Structure 1
Amino acid sequence: MKHHFSLWPLGLVGRICVVLIAAITLVFFANAIFYGAAEKYIVDDVRIAQLGEDLTTNVRVLSAAPVSQRSFLAVMLSGGGISVAWQPLAGSMPDLPSQRSALLRRLKDKLTKNYPILLQAKLDLYTLTPRAVDVFGSECLPDGSYIHFRVPDLLGQRHFTRGLASAGIAAAAIVVAAIMLVRGLGAPLRALAAGADRIGSNEAWVPLDEYGPREVRGVARAINAVQSRIQNLLDDRTQALAAVSHDLKTPLTRLRLRSDFLEDAETQAAIATDLDEMEAMITTLLAYFSGVDDPEKPHAINIVATLNTLIDEQADRGRDALYQGPSRSLILVRPVAMKRVLSNLIENALNYGGNVRAGLTVLPDETTEIIIEDNGPGIPESAYEKVLTPFYRLEGSRSRSTGGIGLGLAIVHREIQREGGTIRLERGEAGTNYTGLKVTITLPASCKVCDNTPL
């Protein structure tokens, strides 16, 4: 399956966080746009009121003052955010480039409406450039002289900038708090997923803790109930199979005894072969189904001794069996289960390949590799995964005549998984006497035992 990179998170917590961040970001930028639009039409009311008072005072004071004192008084009236200068004649000051935006026109209309004296004084407002924030203006006194003033930074967006910064800080704080809360809410979901993942695995089932939101508690309760029913079904199946196998042993034994009284040796041998096959099938089925709840506990064993014992048994029967590797390697496993695994692999190799070589290697990371290989026809690469499933049998070389019912490698696969290890199937090395099937078992470094520790 191909996985394509995506910015959309795979986890529920990540998706909720993305949605929250996106929502807060949209709100933040929407506020910024609205504030920016409002800033085009709204200037600080307090400053406008103060400006109107200052301009009205300037007109009244300078109109009533003697001409000789007006320049001095203009300087005295400067300050508090406004610079004032008096001009005796209209043409005595150089003409400056001026810009009168719609905002300034609205500001002028508001000032003249609130302060009628400014309308009589022919109030004028302008800027030197379109993007300037300093506002210039003039007022005409009754005698024809002019008051010129400058209001610095009147059109600056000070409040908008500070408001935007405050909104950004608040949004960041909300995002952090939301992520922490969502992660806290996601903890029960993660525990639920981990527990549900154990269903059907080889790990012992541990009931899920029913905590978290009501919906999560409901799902955990349902999963616990399902797992309980599954476990009951497995127990019933195992007990039924054990009962049937026990009941079958009696008629099989009677058949075996009666076959001994047959005078036809060929028929007697055929019946005995069929009985052996039936008993082997029952034993294999019991081994597979009972292994689900195997109560055996792990122990430290010398796995090389187990391998040598199995190899020597086959060699004593005149079969081509060989072990190559160290004389001692201690690992923590379930002894009976591991012996069953190695026995299945060695017998399969001899039955289908005619020979077997067992090897053991301790890797630098202290994991243990056990290799069982033969010189048989092997298994097609396309069937490597299938042969590890229950009741799957290859036609041809691995036929029913060899006694297999498709559970040997399935049992091996299950038991190795329960030990925390892995199994790998591949073709043997060319140019050797073992070019058939090569089975590699990797067991974790789960036991630290000194070589001189007695077993």
Structure 2
Amino acid sequence: MFVLLAAVALVFVGSSVFYEEAETYTVDDTQLEQIGERLAVDARVVAATPVSQRSILTVMLSTADLSIDWRAPEATAGRPARPEPSSLRDLHLRLAGTHEILQGDVLDLSPTSIGTADIRGILRLPDGSRIGFVAPDILQPHHMTRGIASAAVLAGAVLLAAGMLVRTLSMPLRALADVADGVGSGHWIPVEEKGPREVRYLARAINAMQDRIRRLIADRTEALAAVSHDLRTPLARLRLRAGFLEDSELQAAIEGDVAEMEAMVGGVLAYLSGENDPEPPRPVDLASILATLADDAADQGRDVRYDGPGHASVRVRPLAMKRVFGNLIDNAVNYGGAARIGLAMDADWLRVRVEDDGPGLPEAELSRVTTPFYRVEGSRSRATGGLGLGLAIVSREVAREGGQFTLQNRPEGGLRAEVALPRLPAQGGGHQGVGKAGRSAIDK
């Protein structure tokens, strides 16, 4: 658009610069020749006519394209002659042409008024009298405003056409951007292969890429889910056979290994099942969910406290959110010894913080611990359980709800996990320190 507009502007400016002087006045040559010839003939006729009849004769000789009048010598005496504008010098020469009676300084031209195309002139006769004349529409001045208006109309038309063209070309690109933005999030929408040739090629390539990614994800999910599910049967047989062992220490060791393997299998299944979770989102009381999780953990002898309002509505998938905050509480208790849950509300977000007093994480690892199957060596060992999927599940589920998940080390020590969820327009109030009475109907 800007290139086209620049071209139009350049043409207009160039025309103004190169032709302004040459075409300041556009005069029809034939018209000038006729007016000059008539003026010369009228001057000869008036000069040959008696003085008493000249005024009547000039009225009879006047026409629509050249009106003349006669002025006696005493009528023009004492009037200073107005200098002829230099811009009319070319017109003067063209009017005089080859007519001897119009040659020399006997002819003076002047414009009638600014902005008109009429010319007023005086022709001095040999006896000292003068013929005044007016030639209407003899000038066609170069109107700058008319040129600007024409250029503005042309620029507007070019802008409209360019805008429509750019919009037509960009619509397929916007569709491609929307589809590319949803690749990998479970929304597989084929792109319409329309638009310019290059855009059609790109749409075809993105559709093929989507098919390949979808097949890869489906194959991976099915394979891992099948392996994880099939492991449950031999694990159950191992647990059963361990019960018949007489060596209590060996029995406890085997059962511990089986429990760890079952936890690993359960974590893998939970992570894989979340990708195709059919649970629909609905308004729930997040404060009640947090209070219930805190009470359940306290009933098991774990140091977990909830401090926040009694009610806070949010539209989420309830079971997924229970899994998210359950994972965060387990991490805080397992690696920090205790979990403190806080809930705060602002105009747009509900912010849940889960804090512990553990060793925290190295700054370089804060962005990596949400990677599936990733574990920080040293700070979080296999002895505490886990497969490196807890925070990956948290990050994925929060993102699916349109929220934000962040991890940071507390200045006083320990780790702070914060989940921000979009807030519903209408919010309920509450009181501090909700106990078991605040459990939601979801858990009942």
TM-score band, normalised by shorter chain: 0.7 to 0.9
Q: Percent identity?
A: 51
- Conservation of the 8 A alpha-carbon contact between 2:123 and 2:130: yes
Which residue does 1:426 correspond to in 2? 408
1:121 aligns with 2:102: yes
1:308 aligns with 2:286: no
Once the two structures are TM-superposed, the CA of residue 379 in structure 1 deviates from its matched residue by 3.0
- Conservation of the 8 A alpha-carbon contact between 1:28 and 1:171: no
Instruction: Find the partner of 1:104 among 86, 89, 92.
Output: 89
The 2-side partners of 1:192 and 1:81 are apart by 71
Question: Which is further off, 242-251 or 227-236?
Answer: 242-251
Residues 126/135 of structure 1: CA separation in 2 closer, same or farther (3 Å cut): farther
The 1-side partners of 2:261 and 2:320 are apart by 22
Once the two structures are TM-superposed, the CA of residue 342 in structure 1 deviates from its matched residue by 1.0
For 1:233, give the aligned amino acid: L
Which residue does 1:172 correspond to in 2? 156
- Conservation of the 8 A alpha-carbon contact between 1:353 and 1:375: yes
SS at match of 1:425: strand
- Conservation of the 8 A alpha-carbon contact between 1:398 and 1:404: no
The 2-side partners of 1:214 and 1:203 are apart by 28
In structure 2, list runs of 5 or more residues that go unmatched: 430-439
Show CA shifts across 1:81-118 (max 9, x none).
Answer: 766655769998755545546x734x4554455xx4x2
- Conservation of the 8 A alpha-carbon contact between 2:405 and 2:420: yes
Instruction: Find the partner of 1:406 among 388, 410, 428.
Output: 388
1:286 aligns with 2:274: no
Which residue does 1:394 correspond to in 2? 376
- Conservation of the 8 A alpha-carbon contact between 2:65 and 2:136: no
Residues 271/192 of structure 1: CA separation in 2 closer, same or farther (3 Å cut): same
Aligned length: 426
Question: Which is further off, 72-81 or 373-382?
Answer: 72-81
In structure 1, list runs of 5 or more residues that go unmatched: 1-16
Which residue does 2:222 correspond to in 1? 239
Alpha carbon RMSD of aligned pairs, Å?
A: 4.2
The 2-side partners of 1:20 and 1:323 are apart by 64
SS at match of 1:387: coil
Residues 395/24 of structure 1: CA separation in 2 closer, same or farther (3 Å cut): farther
Show CA shifts across 1:296-337 (max 9, x none).
Answer: 222444434432333233222322111223344443322221
The 2-side partners of 1:409 and 1:61 are apart by 112
For 1:66, give the aligned amino acid: P
The 1-side partners of 2:145 and 2:313 are apart by 71
The 2-side partners of 1:193 and 1:440 are apart by 30
Superposed counterparts of 1:239-388, under 5 Å: 239-256=222-239, 269-365=252-348, 367-388=349-370
For 1:395, give the aligned amino acid: E
Question: Which is further off, 350-359 or 294-303?
Answer: 294-303
Once the two structures are TM-superposed, the CA of residue 354 in structure 1 deviates from its matched residue by 0.3
The 2-side partners of 1:60 and 1:401 are apart by 127
Which residue does 1:26 correspond to in 2? 10
The 2-side partners of 1:45 and 1:390 are apart by 89
Show CA shifts across 1:243-294 (max 9, x none).
Answer: 2223434444455556667777666655544444443333323322332222
- Conservation of the 8 A alpha-carbon contact between 1:87 and 1:93: no
Which residue does 2:435 correspond to in 1? none
TM-score by length of 2: 0.77
Which residue does 1:162 correspond to in 2? 146
Once the two structures are TM-superposed, the CA of residue 52 in structure 1 deviates from its matched residue by 2.6
